[in-house]
Structure 1
């Protein structure tokens, strides 16, 4: 009876909700808040970051090499400066994005002394929200923990900047433990794995503590910590228009509390159209590895990629996951940076054959895409093309790929929340035009 009812009303919904697609063009609706050329509708201004993948010439978008800047500083220069000093950079990038300036050594030391001791979670929260009400999805577990932290905050609704900064820094510090413990609880409840809770270790930074808390042995190499820190740096921020950052702007514009805003951003990122790209790359590459006999045979690899593009292989969507981006065209600077570290890790882990396969897919897909789709669109690998492979080499399960994205991007969300509170001024309220035909009210006994 219940199934029949749901099937019946669902059929009615599918029929009655439909809108004539031609009406979107008639009323010039910016579907997905995109312009006709695919660029985003200008909805705000920001100093936090800039993402460039094309330029306009004679009214047309022309592909250019990708550029990402944090507070005006090229991501390549940031990473290069950090690596030349032989140190981790996530705390420095967090400082830069939140406080709009590069810290001095003294300022960075002071900041880390404030941030790192706040990584631990309240034991009551672990015992109840994480271990008693265990979720089957880490992203939903993260949302619930974030909302529970509202209850543990003595001043949760104050949206003054000093209070919001405090709340954001505590969330940034706690995300590694939230993810590690939520995953361990999931494995214990649904798969029978042994449960262990490693508390954060003094002297470890964000990347080191995450590896320490997630792994039963708490052991990790210097290179593993370096590449995780780099991944966090590269994922920390990507403009105000991506779905989760824009969600942060929309929700923050109502003057709601920080926990509600970040929980909403997590809900956005969980969506497979936003946060699941690197997992999709892994599933696709597993399919390629299974069906291509000789990974070093570029002709065989190309033939299988062509089958994927023609919707004849893998999930038959015609998509080569990790190739192409909403903004970047010729290149994604994050992908270029991460690829080099991925090569270094692959050499150490004995997985260069897989790395070379990734490189072949990266190099072959753009031309095959244009051939099969009969398009002159320029595509290149995005950061997700390599991040899943990196996480796999680090021994991370697919279930925490999107949470790892959140562990980095909570920094960007925090900056965009403060940006909206300081500069927004008005609640975000775009228009929706009704295209429903007027109809009379029918008394209940006369309805069919």
Structure 2
């Protein structure tokens, strides 16, 4: 008797679809056009991601821009006061409410988030992954909410803020096997509280907290087309509760092609360091890059993680902001040699991709973010949960926008290319 696994393997070919059929039936695989641009599926006022221009139906690569409610991310990061840390709170407010807060509004918003009190948390999950635990905890919030299924926008907004305030506490409760019912320092910023909970002490420098704040800001949103936000939009279109939508978005973010890429980059660097040391030699690093593309090194996927992006071509503004702060932090930590190797490999990888595939690529946000997290003393299993913490602000804002304006059920079509069995 065959096992079910063997039966599936014997019939695996029945699930294989000839890639040429996509062009034959004009199906946009991955919701991508033939020139690599995304298929337009919605409208938004929240965020714009710019990496190219289309002029007379021809695509021209340009320097990347990330726009939150009309403000470039570079402006929002660089405008932060030199003596305060409140960038993420200001950014989350902007995304959710549509305008930059004044001093009183920012204080009210920050007080709500950081004075939040969480209910009981069960840490005994049979899952090794924090993202899965976050999904469970967000769904538990639904179970505790007597009006969880309301379609009132203001109530959905308040539920969204509850999720936004809860996820950092859930994350570090699970990571440290210690329930954080509230933030240790409600009079400080979320970035500072994250460093305290991650490290188990408050021994951080102002510069470290500033960098964490920047990381939270640049991850807060990335338009309506990124995978987790689109998953959120698809589920929101059914009219279901916000808890289900955010839980689904977290599940999407867990994937290595989305939020999990930062861990892949970190592990790729470890493999490179083990193979060739902290070298900046171009010939040596070029051989490594070619081996990765040849599926002869690291995870044999043929992917140079952290290099290339679906939209950005010449530059990723998030990566540039992180890179600028990363160099100074690495030097202060005595890791200049490691930083120099990572920076040298970035240049080589971009060059090799151009030679091998004829495409213009750049380092994306994941290329440096994992390294910066490690410089801040944060272990790799927290990298993607930290992404989820910041991206929740964007998920909530897009959920509210979709429930207000884009209420049509998302229901695309597939083309059937299977066989028709002869029925006797």
The two structures have a TM-score, normalised by structure 2, of 0.95
* Number of the residue aligned with 2:43: 45
Distance change (3 Å), C-alpha of 1:321 and 1:218: same
- Counterpart selection for 2:183 from 186, 189, 200: 200
Deviations 1:182-224 (A, max 9, x none): 1123xxxxxxxxx575842231321122222232334322222
Comparing 207-216 with 132-141, greater Cα deviation is found at 207-216
Distance change (3 Å), C-alpha of 1:84 and 1:150: same
Counterpart-to-counterpart distance in 1, 2:152 and 2:407: 14
Residue 82 of structure 1 aligns to a residue in which SS? Answer: coil
* Number of the residue aligned with 1:176: 168
Residue 85 of structure 2 aligns to a residue in which SS? Answer: coil
Distance change (3 Å), C-alpha of 1:240 and 1:88: same
Residue 27 of structure 2 aligns to a residue in which SS? Answer: coil
Distance change (3 Å), C-alpha of 1:35 and 1:211: same
Deviations 1:48-95 (A, max 9, x none): 010011112342211110011000111111111015564330000001
Corresponding position: 1:384 with 2:366:
yes
Counterpart-to-counterpart distance in 2, 1:294 and 1:391: 19
Superposed, 1:15-26 pairs within 5 Å as 15-26=13-24
**How much has 1:440 moved relative to structure 2?**
4.5
Moved over 6 A (4+): none
* Number of the residue aligned with 2:292: 308
**How much has 1:434 moved relative to structure 2?**
2.0
Task: Answer yes or no: is the 8 Å Cα contact 2:199–2:377 preserved in 1.
Answer: no
Deviations 1:88-127 (A, max 9, x none): 3000000100011011112111221222211x3212xx2x
- Counterpart selection for 1:137 from 100, 105, 129: 129
Superposed, 1:87-98 pairs within 5 Å as 87-98=85-96
Corresponding position: 1:433 with 2:405:
no
Number of corresponding residues: 423
- Counterpart selection for 1:399 from 377, 381, 388: 381
Counterpart-to-counterpart distance in 1, 2:86 and 2:328: 17
Task: Answer yes or no: is the 8 Å Cα contact 2:280–2:345 preserved in 1.
Answer: no
Corresponding position: 1:361 with 2:345:
yes
Counterpart-to-counterpart distance in 2, 1:48 and 1:365: 33
Corresponding position: 1:411 with 2:403:
no
Residue 115 of structure 2 aligns to a residue in which SS? Answer: helix
Residue 252 of structure 2 aligns to a residue in which SS? Answer: helix
**How much has 1:18 moved relative to structure 2?**
2.4
Residue 66 of structure 2 aligns to a residue in which SS? Answer: strand
Task: Answer yes or no: is the 8 Å Cα contact 1:88–1:230 preserved in 2.
Answer: no
Counterpart-to-counterpart distance in 2, 1:427 and 1:196: 39
Counterpart-to-counterpart distance in 1, 2:174 and 2:277: 38
* Number of the residue aligned with 1:338: 322
Corresponding position: 1:291 with 2:275:
yes
Superposed, 1:32-431 pairs within 5 Å as 32-84=30-82, 86-118=84-116, 120-123=117-120, 126=121, 128=122, 131-185=123-177, 199-201=182-184, 202-293=186-277, 295-371=279-355, 373=356, 375-431=357-413
Counterpart-to-counterpart distance in 1, 2:372 and 2:250: 22
Counterpart-to-counterpart distance in 1, 2:419 and 2:294: 41
Comparing 285-294 with 79-88, greater Cα deviation is found at 79-88
Counterpart-to-counterpart distance in 1, 2:81 and 2:326: 15
Task: Answer yes or no: is the 8 Å Cα contact 2:278–2:337 preserved in 1.
Answer: no
Counterpart-to-counterpart distance in 1, 2:113 and 2:380: 28
What 5-or-longer segments of structure 1 have no aligned partner?
A: 186-194, 443-448
Larger Rg: 1
RMSD: 1.8
Counterpart-to-counterpart distance in 1, 2:118 and 2:91: 24
Deviations 1:308-343 (A, max 9, x none): 233332223332211110100000001111111111
Task: Answer yes or no: is the 8 Å Cα contact 1:196–1:216 preserved in 2.
Answer: no
Distance change (3 Å), C-alpha of 1:133 and 1:304: closer
